Amino acid sequence: NGSTKRGWKYHLYELSEELGRRVSVCHYPPGTSKWNRIEHRMFSYISLNWQGIPLETYETVVTLIMGTKTGLKAKARLDRKEYPLKEKITDEQMAEIPIVYDEVNPEWNYTIYPSKEAMEKALASRKRKDQK
């Protein structure tokens, strides 16, 4: 789910369309995923829990994630869905996405709307507020 990934934006648009809701996205800047609190709070305990155990099956990994002994509560399940690799999202598909980039760091912050009409309505509403 990177800020430059076409598939991420296109499939997020499909989800937005399906839910009938806008989706606002704020990516971490490149190279800063270490700032993600969940990685510090959760992954260290999970790693301690499976220390010395061979991770030979998905079931082993899922069981170990759920079984920390520190009081940390984690849920895990294996997603067996097969996802296409190296999917090509065309320029035409990208042009379909009703997306508005934020003024601040637009490469990382944007909102995807379920339809062009919803996007235009939101932009018109924002413009009216700005004029007041």
Which sequence spans correspond to the domains of the chain? 6-131
Q: What is the pLDDT of residue 9?
A: 95
Mean pLDDT of 54-73: 79
Query: What is the separation of C-alpha 39 from the centre of its chain, rounded to a whole number of angstroms?
Result: 15
Token reading at 96: 């379909």
Q: Is 121 helix (H, G, I), strand (E, B) or coil?
A: helix
- How do residues 13-60 score in pLDDT, each as one tens digit? 999 999 999 999 988 777 776 666 666 666 676 777 677 888 888 888
* 38 or 105, higher pLDDT: 105
Give the chain's mean pLDDT. 85
CB burial of 69-108 (b: ≥16 within 10 Å; e: otherwise) equals eeeeeeeeeeeeeeeeeeeebeeeeeeebbbbeeeeeeeb
Q: How far apart are CA 24 and CA 43, in angstroms?
A: 26
Whole-model pTM?
0.66
Q: What percent of the chain has pLDDT over 70?
A: 85
In Å, how far are 8, 69, 75 from 60, measured between CA atoms? Answer: 29, 16, 14
Q: How far apart are CA 13 and CA 23, in angstroms?
A: 8
Q: 118: pLDDT confidence band, cut at 50, 70 and 90?
A: very high
